[in-house]
């Protein structure tokens, strides 16, 4: 994304901005899904994540034609990582819609009744049960024997964790009881109890390992062990509450299905109740809520399900969730404590994040001593000072947040917090972007020492060697990480002196594990080959914020040489200078990009590394853009597979001819190049009456 459209209200977005925003949201949501589902390390509040999803949906509702093929609205969770083999769920494992207050529950019941045409006075039994805060799993039995068990994954495909599930004593190896159907797929939640969690963490800490943040993460981490002996050593438990494929149904209601699972040998939650009306549901909700603190496991709400399975079948599903069920979430748990300090952490992308260091306090049964304060504005908005007594909240678990200070308890000598304007990790200037559409400053301050900041180093090096950047054969993300860790490569320039310095290290490259004479020499040769590199790749490789591959190409074409680009940035020091205004007048180079480039070039640390890099590497000018071609300024979509050219080549050709390559078809698209296997984009283009050509025609058209 070149510019931030995130602050523009959905109703004010232009189609172009909406398209860009949908692309950004798809990327961002997928990234957070991965962090949550695959890495068990969420990095944003659940509420922020929900807001991203809500915004995505709102934009799709306003611009239905822009909905992406990979829209997050059509997905649940994240696709599984590859270390376990895949299991395709015979019946998808979906998610639940949320209710946040009593009114939402009344709405839910009303909608169900209207859908089924059931009058208010007719009884409609609905069950209520705790929503367990663990990890969902499905276990398949054939002829009463456990065959396979899997995680939810993205809802359609999960990971095969059979061996790990077998270690959980609540999950029977063989089903017991009468009338067990031939195929039974039981679904439920794997979780860790509070007492077990505390003991596990205490053991971890005594062994010098970093403890789990909460029982959910501990359960998730334990389930994804490749060695099931480790899982077996973790005190995991399981509640059965749902099912997938069943060759025969042992019951006709939700309540009795769960009773059947109990008779098969599963643990089921004892707090589940069957209610006749909404008032009863809300009463059970309050009852369960009042028991929450004394339960030995985490719950984050109450799930309501229409009891009658025939009615469930009629209600069916809508997008990611059943119409017949809803999760009524508990409000966040709170506590007060003292804010001892504010520490600034620098993220991998250079964002400076203030972290509140708190006097340890229990919030909803979990010890809390850190909380995120998001950013500088948040500290001001919340009016918190070091020394304050603050209210802390755990919303939907994970990272606790600070709601605000208890002003009556503010110490007399306290002072407002002054946010640093230099990066604590490297000393470079830390600056904020300004959004040109709104004129507002970005809330996040970022370190501008991209090339030298240790906090960003690995990320920047990974980017530097990535496919659209230096693309050095034999040097991927894994290698730069290892080289950074052993001190061989600390900045991009050092890649090119690796061979020269090889003898200085106690172990030479060919003596390192996984390396030999041949592979080391091949790597040195591959590095040498890149000493000459296309200017656009060189610019892109620098990892300057807002300068993605497309903008790097634009800059390369506009300036021709790196020296000219650098000179233009130096000349444009003041924003009211002529040079700056000239820059701004260049079509498509926006204020945000210029500011970001300026900040990068103004940082002496970056200049040093750039100078070192330019000693080693020569950027080769790229051809200027031709503006006299048939497709200049046209928006082109490539879809399906291209047989003759690679996608990258087709894109580069289109851009060289002045066209813009976009990801999805909208009424603003001028041309669609469709290859074999083209699907929804081709269909949309045909519906919108947009010109569609095949690859051969494209090659003729783009030949000159």
- For residues 637 and 656, the answer to whether their CB atoms sit within 8 Å is no
Distance CA 663, CA 635 (A): 10
Strand partners, 246: 184
| Of 513, 514, 515, 486, the residue nearest 501 (C-alpha) | 486
Residue closer to ligand IVH by CB (options 87, 431) is 87
The CB-nearest residue to ligand IVH is 136
| Of 240, 238, 239, 264, the residue nearest 250 (C-alpha) | 264
Residue closer to ligand IVH by CB (options 185, 189) is 189
Residue closer to ligand IVH by CB (options 298, 494) is 298
Distance CA 406, CA 391 (A): 7
**Minimal distance in Å, beta carbon 262 to ligand IVH?**
14
Distance CA 604, CA 601 (A): 8
**Minimal distance in Å, beta carbon 78 to ligand IVH?**
13
**Minimal distance in Å, beta carbon 152 to ligand IVH?**
6
The phi and psi torsions of 561 (rounded to 5 degrees) equal -130, 160
**Minimal distance in Å, beta carbon 332 to ligand IVH?**
17
- For residues 592 and 437, the answer to whether their CB atoms sit within 8 Å is no
- For residues 352 and 365, the answer to whether their CB atoms sit within 8 Å is no
DSSP 429: B
Residue closer to ligand IVH by CB (options 27, 317) is 317
Which of 75, 131, 382, 635 is the catalytic position?
131
Residue closer to ligand IVH by CB (options 129, 655) is 129
**Minimal distance in Å, beta carbon 576 to ligand IVH?**
53
Distance CA 8, CA 18 (A): 10
| Of 502, 503, 535, the residue nearest 614 (C-alpha) | 535
List Cβ neighbours of 186 (8 Å cut-off, separation of 6 or more): 138, 139, 141, 240, 242, 243, 261, 264, 266
Does the active-site annotation cover 131? yes
**Minimal distance in Å, beta carbon 189 to ligand IVH?**
5
- For residues 303 and 273, the answer to whether their CB atoms sit within 8 Å is no
Residue closer to ligand IVH by CB (options 297, 540) is 297
**Minimal distance in Å, beta carbon 96 to ligand IVH?**
4
The phi and psi torsions of 190 (rounded to 5 degrees) equal -90, 130
H helices within 474-603, ranges in order? 477-485, 492-495, 498-501, 517-529, 535-541, 549-559, 562-571, 578-585, 591-602
Residue closer to ligand IVH by CB (options 68, 328) is 328
Q: How many CB atoms lie within 10 A of CB 550?
A: 16
Residue closer to ligand IVH by CB (options 160, 670) is 160
Helices (H) and strands (E) in the chain, counts: 25, 26
Contacts with ligand IVH, residue ranges (CB under 6 A): 94-96, 129, 131-132, 136, 152, 189, 241-242, 303, 322, 325, 327
Residue closer to ligand IVH by CB (options 282, 593) is 282
Residue closer to ligand IVH by CB (options 188, 387) is 188
List Cβ neighbours of 611 (8 Å cut-off, separation of 6 or more): none
Distance CA 236, CA 252 (A): 30
**Minimal distance in Å, beta carbon 255 to ligand IVH?**
13
Distance CA 38, CA 474 (A): 27
- For residues 293 and 270, the answer to whether their CB atoms sit within 8 Å is no
**Minimal distance in Å, beta carbon 116 to ligand IVH?**
18
Distance CA 123, CA 275 (A): 10
Produce one character per residue of 503-514: b if its CB has 16 or more CB atoms within 10 Å, e if not: eeeeeebeebee
Distance CA 121, CA 104 (A): 20
**Minimal distance in Å, beta carbon 191 to ligand IVH?**
9
Residue closer to ligand IVH by CB (options 129, 494) is 129
Distance CA 684, CA 690 (A): 9
Owner of token pair 């050509």: 693
Q: How many CB atoms lie within 10 A of CB 580?
A: 20
- For residues 473 and 526, the answer to whether their CB atoms sit within 8 Å is yes
**Minimal distance in Å, beta carbon 476 to ligand IVH?**
35
Distance CA 635, CA 150 (A): 44
**Minimal distance in Å, beta carbon 155 to ligand IVH?**
9
Distance CA 84, CA 636 (A): 39
Residue closer to ligand IVH by CB (options 13, 132) is 132
- For residues 297 and 191, the answer to whether their CB atoms sit within 8 Å is yes
**Minimal distance in Å, beta carbon 254 to ligand IVH?**
9
Q: How many CB atoms lie within 10 A of CB 61?
A: 11
Residue closer to ligand IVH by CB (options 218, 430) is 218
Strands 660-662 and 273-275: unpaired
Owner of token pair 């919303």: 395
Burial class (CB in 10 A: 0-12, 13-18, 19+), 316: exposed
Strand partners, 150: 138, 160
Which residues are marked as active site?
Answer: 131
């Amino acid at each position: 994304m070149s510019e931030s459209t995130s602050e523009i209200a959905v109703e004010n977005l232009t189609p172009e901005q909406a398209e860009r925003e949908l692309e950004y949201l798809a990327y961002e949501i997928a990234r957070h899904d991965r962090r949550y589902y695959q890495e068990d390390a969420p990095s944003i509040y659940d509420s922020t994540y929900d807001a991203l999803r809500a915004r995505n949906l709102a934009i799709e509702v306003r611009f239905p034609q822009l909905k992406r093929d990979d829209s997050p609205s059509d997905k649940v969770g994240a696709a599984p990582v590859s270390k376990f083999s895949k299991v395709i769920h015979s019946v998808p494992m979906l998610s639940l819609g949320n209710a946040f207050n009593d009114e939402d529950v009344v709405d839910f019941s009303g909608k169900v009744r209207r859908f089924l045409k059931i009058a208010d006075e007719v009884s409609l039994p609905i069950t209520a049960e705790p929503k367990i805060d663990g990890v969902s799993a499905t276990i398949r039995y054939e002829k009463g024997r456990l065959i396979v068990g899997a995680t939810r994954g993205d809802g359609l495909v999960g990971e095969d964790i059979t061996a790990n599930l077998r270690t959980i004593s609540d999950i029977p190896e063989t089903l017991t009881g009468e009338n067990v159907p031939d195929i039974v797929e039981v679904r439920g939640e794997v979780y860790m109890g509070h007492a077990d969690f505390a003991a596990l963490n205490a053991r971890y800490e005594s062994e010098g390992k970093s403890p789990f943040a909460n029982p959910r993460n501990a359960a998730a981490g334990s389930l994804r062990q490749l060695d099931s002996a480790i899982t077996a050593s973790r005190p995991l438990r399981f509640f059965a509450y749902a099912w997938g494929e069943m060759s025969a149904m042992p019951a006709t209601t939700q309540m009795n299905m769960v009773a059947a699972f109990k008779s098969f040998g599963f643990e089921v939650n004892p707090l589940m109740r069957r209610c006749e009306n909404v008032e009863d549901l809300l009463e059970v909700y309050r009852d369960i809520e009042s028991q929450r603190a004394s339960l030995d496991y985490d719950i984050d709400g109450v799930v309501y399900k229409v009891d009658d399975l025939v009615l469930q079948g009629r209600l069916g599903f809508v997008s990611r969730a059943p119409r017949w069920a809803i999760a009524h979430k508990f409000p966040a748990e709170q506590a007060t404590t003292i804010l001892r300090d504010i520490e600034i952490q620098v993220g991998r992308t250079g964002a400076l994040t203030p972290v509140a260091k708190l006097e340890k306090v229990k919030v909803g049964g979990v010890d809390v001593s850190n909380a995120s304060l998001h950013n500088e504005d948040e500290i001001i908005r919340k009016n918190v000072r070091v020394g304050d007594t603050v209210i802390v909240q755990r919303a939907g678990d994970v990272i606790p947040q600070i709601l605000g200070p208890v002003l009556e308890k503010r110490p007399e000598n306290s002072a407002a917090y002054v946010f640093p304007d230099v990066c604590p990790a490297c000393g470079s200037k830390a600056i904020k972007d300004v959004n040109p559409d709104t004129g507002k400053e970005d809330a996040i301050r970022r370190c501008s020492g991209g090339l030298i900041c240790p906090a960003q180093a690995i990320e920047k090096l990974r980017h530097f060697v990535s496919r659209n950047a230096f693309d050095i054969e034999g040097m991927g993300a894994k290698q730069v990480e290892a080289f950074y860790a052993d001190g061989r490569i600390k900045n991009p320039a050092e890649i090119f002196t690796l061979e020269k310095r090889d003898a200085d290290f106690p172990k030479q490259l060919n003596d390192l594990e996984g390396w030999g004479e041949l592979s080391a020499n091949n790597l040195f040769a591959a590095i040498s080959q890149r000493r000459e590199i296309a200017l656009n790749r060189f610019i892109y490789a620098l990892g300057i914020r807002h300068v993605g591959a497309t903008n790097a190409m634009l800059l390369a074409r506009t300036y021709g040489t790196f020296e000219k680009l650098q000179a233009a940035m130096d000349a444009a020091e003041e924003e009211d200078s002529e040079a700056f205004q000239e820059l701004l007048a260049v079509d498509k180079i926006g204020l945000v990009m210029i500011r970001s480039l300026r900040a990068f070039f103004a940082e002496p640390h970056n200049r040093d590394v750039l100078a070192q890099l330019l000693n080693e590497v020569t950027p080769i000018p790229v051809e200027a853009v031709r503006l006299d071609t048939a497709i200049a300024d046209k928006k082109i979509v490539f879809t399906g597979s291209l047989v003759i050219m690679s996608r990258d080549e087709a894109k580069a050709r289109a851009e060289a001819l002045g066209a813009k390559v976009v990801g999805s078809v909208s009424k603003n698209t001028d041309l669609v190049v469709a290859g074999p296997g083209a699907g929804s984009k081709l269909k949309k283009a045909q519906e919108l009456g947009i010109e569609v050509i095949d690859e051969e025609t494209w090659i003729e058209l783009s030949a000159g």
